A and B are shown apart, each in its own frame.
Chain A
Amino acid sequence: MSSIKIELRKEDVDKINEICDSFGNEQSELINVLHKTQEHFGYLPAEIQEAIASKLNIPVAQVYGVVTFYSFFTMTPKGRHPISICMGTACYVRGAEKVLDEFKKELSLQVGQTTPDGKFSLSSLRCVGACGLAPVVLIGEKTYGRVAPDDVQDILKEYQ
């Protein structure tokens, strides 16, 4: 019941409005609006959900409901070095899960989370089309192939 105030930068508000406008401000386009917005900002923090709700004239609780229902939406920003582990069939068969577990352990992180210092984030991907190199790990723009759990520490050292 208390009135809520949120702050956003002008260019961010403009971008959100532009995306909503491009979908005709249709409430039924919410999922597409969220997709486009996440593409732009990398994640969907509360402020941005508030702005979308207000522009599309729907309750913010419903926007949040959709964001939490679909696993591809995230409310946490990606780390400066986003780590993605391929979970496609080839990579999976060649032990991607063990590699993922190793990253989780090393960074004390779950999939979808970001380290408190904002350095690393962890996510999993579908086949990235480099099956010959399986298992594949992407960190930012860089691709690592044939990664074994033992390599994980060394890979992370590159980003110290």
Chain B
Amino acid sequence: MRGRMTMETIKLTIDNKQIEVEKGTTILGAARRMGIDIPTLCHMKLDDLNIENKPGGCRICVVEVQGRRNLSPACITKCDEGAVVRTHTPRVMNARRTVMEFILSDHPKDCLICPKSGNCELQNMAIRLGIREITGQEIAEMSTYRKDTSPSIIRDLDKCIMCRRCEMMCNEVQTVGALSAVNRGFMAVVAPAFEQNLEYSPCTYCGQCVAVCPTGALTEVDHTGDVLRAIADPSKTVVVQTAPAVRAALGEEFGMKPGSLVTGKLVSALKELGFDYVFDTDFAADLTIMEEGTELLARLGKFLNGDEDANIPILTSCCPGWVNFFEHNFPDLKDVPSTAKSPQQMFGAIAKSYFAGKINVSRKDMVVVSIMPCLAKKYESQRPEFSVDGNPDVDFSISTRELAHFIKQANIDFNNLPDADFDRPLGESTGAGVIFGNTGGVIEAAVRTAYELYTGKKLSRLDFDELRGMEGVRQATINFDGLPINIGIAHGLGNARKLLDDVRAGRSTFHAIEVMACPGGCIGGGGQPLHHGDSSILKARARAIYEEDKNKTIRVSHENPYIINLYKEFLGEPNSEKAHHLLHTHYFDKKAKIIVKQ
């Protein structure tokens, strides 16, 4: 009878054990639930984020299903009632080796000097399957491909195994469409249109392709050598800033469990590395809230007065991947985002003006380094508008992964470092600055400050659970003392596109929208330790960020004493002329144009 909604289930046997699963489950899914770890290469699934790559192309996951003539790829084969599956018969093992040998026959063997070595899924698979020789290598000629270096990303497609994870990320999750599978046979690779360099594509440098590439085909541009040289140069004062999401992930590179907060060790390590001042990007995040929050309240005031040019909703602008995206895809809306620079760039601008003045160092003798979970920040730091007479506000931006390598190379025993504190004045931050690392965090920080400034009242609670979570698009209404403020949140650029399409069509009912390019926000950034498809790692990092916020004595940006002082001593008011000059920017139309010759 149909009285109750019951899930249709299926019973099957895998490796002699019975299991009952929901209809539609793949053999891979069922096996994983039983603790049977069928090897996979092209397949990747991030639960909770709705991200899955399942081209069924590599065939490393094949299993034997009784009664079927051919072996079946477990990642795309659905469970049948009564099926009898075997995952490690001689036939299966042989097929897996053959698949692996085939992939390796067109793969360079220079693992020793590959940037992915030790962290490469292909290498791990070769180890796991115990591959000792590659038969047939003499016959196959290796395909070669030119290297492509952009400001953020290196593409070394000799190492591409055509898993197409990057293509899925760029097209389906980010809807950027910079990458596509091109050519066929041995020459097949994933590349931008006309196999141009990434630089001449609509790439946003979000780095999500790098974050999922199982091999050394996609990696970040390494700037650690530049940083090492700057530190060694006695004429330079080297200042470092570290982004919020770094402290919640760096520990993973040293064997700690995901979600370990390593703020104190991180500061110690940076001091050991020889940076002259160790500061916190969270300070600049607080500053961003002052500028962006003030802009929000000004626009909101206009909007409530019925001003047509109020430009509501306001969009956050602290994520450079997102900025690149709207410059390419929504140039007609380029006046809608806040003009506030990202925290990284605000920090650079203040370090090389206010702080340089305070310690009496000239701009050209100061080097600002940033430690970021992000690859888009590399490109951002090189934007010409963020430099003065050719001297950039941020000289080098390195990723969490690069910092981990740097620490290891400097013989620092990270796990046993004592905790240390950030230097003053640019190292003091609030809980509001910390949560910038999570999706929803920027807008929560902005709400905390905007509410108190708008209503003149203290918030009775600081945790806005309605703004948190991993849902791709979220919305909430926050009551500003009788005034309902509608807030939208998107992470992942495909989700952002949905909200932007509404804004473009005049359908949006939001007053403010936060966008982060990376799924999960910066904790899932393209420069973070690799998650290898395990979304529980991202959730653990998110929890750690909220924990750090809770531990802070001050949790609203406008109460940061060093921020208050910065305005008093130097900037005047938020959105003052000086603040505008140093802390705000403008955007460009980067959409590809077709010019019609008459």
Binding site for B on A (CB under 8 A): 1-10, 13, 46, 49-51, 53-54, 58-65, 68-69
- Measured CB to CB, the closest approach of chain B to A4, in angstroms, equals 4
CB distance from A14 to the nearest CB of B (A): 9
CB distance from B334 to the nearest CB of A (A): 13
Instruction: Determine whether the beta carbon of B596 is less than 8 Å from that of A10.
Output: yes
> Distance (Å) between the CB of B19 and the closest chain A CB?
39
Q: List 25 A-B contacts (CB under 8 A).
A: A1-B151, A1-B590, A2-B199, A3-B328, A4-B592, A7-B596, A8-B594, A8-B597, A9-B596, A13-B594, A49-B193, A51-B594, A54-B594, A58-B177, A59-B178, A59-B180, A60-B193, A61-B192, A61-B193, A62-B177, A68-B182, A68-B183, A69-B181, A69-B182, A69-B184
Q: Which residue of B lies closest to A75 (CB)?
A: B194
Task: For the A-B complex with A3-B590, A61-B192 known, give 5 more contacts whose Cβ atoms are closer than 8 Å.
Answer: A4-B592, A5-B592, A8-B596, A9-B596, A61-B191
Whether B593 is near chain A, meaning CB under 8 Å from some CB there, is: yes
Interface Cβ pair total, 8 Å cutoff: 96
Provide the residues of chain B in CB contact with A63, threshold 8 Å.
193
| B595 part of interface (Cβ distance < 8 Å) | yes
Partner pick for A2 among B194, B590, B598, CB 8 A cutoff: B590
Instruction: Give A51 to B183 CA distance when docked, in angstroms.
Output: 21
- B300 at the binding interface (Cβ < 8 Å): no
Cα–Cα, bound, A5→B192 (Å): 16
- Which of these, B176, B191, B192, B591, contacts A3 with CB under 8 Å? B591
Check B184–A68 contact: CB distance below 8 A: yes
Closest to B593 in A: A5
Let me know if B182 and A64 touch, CB within 8 A.
yes
Q: Are A10 and B594 in contact (CB under 8 A)?
A: no
Shortest C-beta distance, B587 to chain A (Å), equals 12
A7-B597, A8-B595, A61-B177 known; A1-B182 Cβ under 8 A: no
The main secondary structure of chain A at its interface with chain B is: helix
Measured between beta carbons, the chain A residues less than 8 angstroms from B379 are 1
The docked-state distance in angstroms from the alpha carbon of A65 to that of B588 is 28
When the two chains form their complex, are residues B179 and A6 in contact, meaning their CB atoms are under 8 A apart? no
Query: What CA separation (Å) do A69 and B598 show in the bound complex?
Result: 33
- B570 at interface (Cβ–Cβ under 8 A)? no
Q: Are A64 and B180 in contact (CB under 8 A)?
A: yes
B68 → A minimal CB distance (Å): 30
> In angstroms, how far is the closest chain B Cβ from the Cβ of A81?
27
B194: A residues at CB distance < 8 A:
46, 49, 64
Contacts of B192 in A (CB 8 A): 61
B326 to A: closest C-beta gap in Å: 13
Minimum C-beta distance from B35 to chain A (A): 39
Give the Cβ gap from B592 to chain A, nearest Cβ, in Å.
4
State whether B324 touches A1 (Cβ < 8 A): yes
**Of B184, B589, B592, which one neighbours A54 at CB under 8 angstroms?**
B592
Bound CA span A19–B387, Å: 47
Nearest residue (CB) in A for B379 is: A1
Within the complex, the shortest CB–CB distance from A83 to chain B, in Å, comes to 24
| Chain A residues positioned under 8 Å from B598 (CB to CB) | 10
Find out whether the CB atom of A9 lies under 8 angstroms from the CB atom of B171: no
